[in-house]
């Protein structure tokens, strides 16, 4: 433990450790938070929440969760494969399948587990089957800025269950430059061998940069490798991209069926923690056998199924989104408005989605910027300072009003003026 303590002391001393806030109540975007270090409580207007369609406090969603508790209790007390599967799981799987135009869906507790189960199950077939033997190696192509759940799953890909429990063909993982289709094509030419099972995996919307992966161009490249699997992590795309929130395929006007017709295999990971007012994740595809494989792979068998209230909340939220696409349109309008206001005020607002990263001049400490916004203006924005280039990660949602957004921009301009003098001004 000495090493841990020494390391953590260094982290505290360098100011890298995050400040913690505890939420006491929510009223729309108004949140009462307590600064854990001081116990100071205040009400703030949030631009941090990933509840992008504002459904976490919807009456219908809350009631669905309550009803599920009354019917099933608070937990299913087993994994889905043994005795933990409830009818709400089946309803949620069907709802997602209809929403994503992919007929087979399997649920997980969160994105990390879903991604690990998918990569592990696909690469290694952990339970031995008499007469089955796979010698085909797997080549995984991954964007360098992919989310941690993908990074973690692919770095484990060569060592996970199949390699522990039985013979398993080799897995090679090759990163390509961020959203760089030319680099992807070059690396595929260089590394793909005849007989490889090729899988490309990418965030649909990148969680720190708010940009969108160039799906159509990627498909054009992958088409040269028939049978390739393309996995889209739609954590930030579902409910946010496309006219009805269908995600990246709807955004680009492509149907997953079309990808299949072109000889590739589309797989989508949906998560419920952003647009669907809940927690959990799902893997959807055209292939029943993939769903069944995920059901029996070690990551599924070894853990609890999605609890009843969590499942019910996601199910009701997705139904709400499908019935009320205007929620998505409001989110998109807010996104355009807020980004344009930042640009008007010469902030470097990157990306193109409701995740609006505002890159700060390097002299400004994002943590200080954030605490000024909270203390002086009652505004809550997440500072990012060590998992990506320093920035304020502003997240627009469908409940924000123009007044809320104008208030944020005015406060950020004032805070920038207070904390930063451009070098040219200092010199004169």
Ligand X SMILES: Cc1ncc(COP(=O)(O)O)c(C=O)c1O
Residue ranges binding ligand X (CB under 6 A) = 110-111, 147, 149, 203, 207, 233, 235-236, 271, 273, 281
Cα separation, 53 vs 239, in Å, equals 7
- Given the complex with ligand X, which of 134 and 382 has the nearer CB atom? 382
Q: Give me the torsion for CA of 245, 247, 252, 254, rounded to 10°.
A: -110
Sign of CA dihedral 244, 250, 116, 289: positive
Nearest approach in angstroms of CB 105 to ligand X is 16
Cα separation, 173 vs 147, in Å, equals 15
Nearest approach in angstroms of CB 110 to ligand X is 3
- Given the complex with ligand X, which of 125 and 249 has the nearer CB atom? 249
- Given the complex with ligand X, which of 215 and 409 has the nearer CB atom? 215
Both tokens of 170, joined, read 């080799």
- Given the complex with ligand X, which of 29 and 310 has the nearer CB atom? 310
- Given the complex with ligand X, which of 233 and 250 has the nearer CB atom? 233
Q: 341, 343, 335, 352: which is closest to 252 by C-alpha?
A: 352
Nearest approach in angstroms of CB 269 to ligand X is 7
Nearest approach in angstroms of CB 384 to ligand X is 12
Which residue blocks in 181-287 are alpha helix, DSSP H? 181-191, 215-222, 248-251, 256-261
Number of residue whose CB is nearest ligand X = 207
- Given the complex with ligand X, which of 276 and 409 has the nearer CB atom? 276
Nearest approach in angstroms of CB 117 to ligand X is 13
Q: Partners of 170 in the beta sheet? A: none
> From the CB of residue 58, how many other CB atoms can be counted at a distance below 10 Å?
18
Cα 100–chain centre separation:
16
Both tokens of 318, joined, read 């997705």
Non-local (6+) Cβ contacts of 143 within 8 A are 175, 176, 178, 179, 201, 202, 203, 206, 213
Nearest approach in angstroms of CB 196 to ligand X is 25
Cα separation, 308 vs 386, in Å, equals 36
- Given the complex with ligand X, which of 273 and 305 has the nearer CB atom? 273
Nearest approach in angstroms of CB 13 to ligand X is 29
């Amino acid at each position: 433990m000495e090493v841990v303590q020494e390391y953590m002391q260094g982290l505290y001393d360098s100011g890298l450790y995050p400040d913690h806030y505890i939420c006491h109540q929510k009223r729309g975007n108004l949140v009462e938070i307590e600064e854990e270090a001081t116990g100071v409580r205040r009400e703030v207007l949030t631009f941090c929440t990933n509840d992008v369609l504002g459904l976490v406090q919807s009456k219908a969603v809350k009631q669905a969760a309550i009803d599920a508790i009354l019917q099933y209790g608070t937990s299913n007390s087993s994994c889905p494969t043994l005795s933990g599967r409830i009818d709400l799981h089946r309803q949620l799987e069907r709802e997602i399948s209809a929403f994503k135009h992919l007929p087979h869906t399997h649920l997980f507790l969160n994105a990390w587990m879903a991604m690990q189960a998918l990569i592990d199950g696909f690469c290694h077939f952990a339970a031995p089957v008499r007469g089955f033997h796979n010698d085909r190696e797997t080549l995984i192509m991954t964007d360098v800025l992919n989310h941690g759940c993908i990074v973690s799953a692919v770095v484990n890909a060569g060592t996970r269950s199949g390699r522990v429990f039985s013979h398993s063909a080799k897995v090679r993982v090759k990163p390509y430059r961020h959203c760089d289709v030319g680099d992807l094509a070059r690396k595929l030419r260089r590394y793909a061998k005849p007989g490889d099972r090729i899988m490309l995996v990418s965030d649909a919307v990148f969680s720190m940069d708010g940009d969108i992966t160039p799906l159509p161009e990627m498909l054009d490249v992958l088409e040269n490798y028939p049978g390739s699997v393309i996995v889209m992590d739609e954590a930030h795309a579902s409910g946010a991209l496309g006219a009805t929130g269908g995600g990246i395929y709807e955004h680009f006007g492509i149907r997953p069926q079309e990808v299949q017709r072109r000889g590739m295999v589309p797989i989508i990971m949906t998560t419920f923690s952003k647009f669907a007012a809940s927690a959990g994740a799902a893997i959807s595809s055209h292939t029943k056998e993939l769903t069944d494989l995920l059901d029996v792979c070690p990551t599924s068998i070894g853990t609890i199924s999605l609890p009843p209230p969590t499942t019910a909340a996601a199910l009701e939220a997705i139904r709400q989104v499908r019935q009320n696409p205007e929620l998505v349109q409001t989110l998109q309008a807010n996104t355009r408005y807020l980004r344009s206001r930042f640009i008007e005020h010469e902030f470097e607002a990157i990306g193109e989605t409701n995740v609006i990263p505002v890159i700060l001049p390097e002299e400004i400490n994002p943590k200080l910027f954030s605490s000024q916004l909270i203390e002086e203006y009652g505004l809550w924005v997440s500072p990012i300072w060590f998992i990506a280039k320093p920035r304020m990660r502003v997240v627009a949602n469908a409940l924000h009003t123009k007044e809320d957004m104008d208030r944020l921009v005015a406060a950020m301009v004032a805070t920038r003026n207070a904390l930063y003098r451009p070098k040219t001004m200092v010199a004169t």
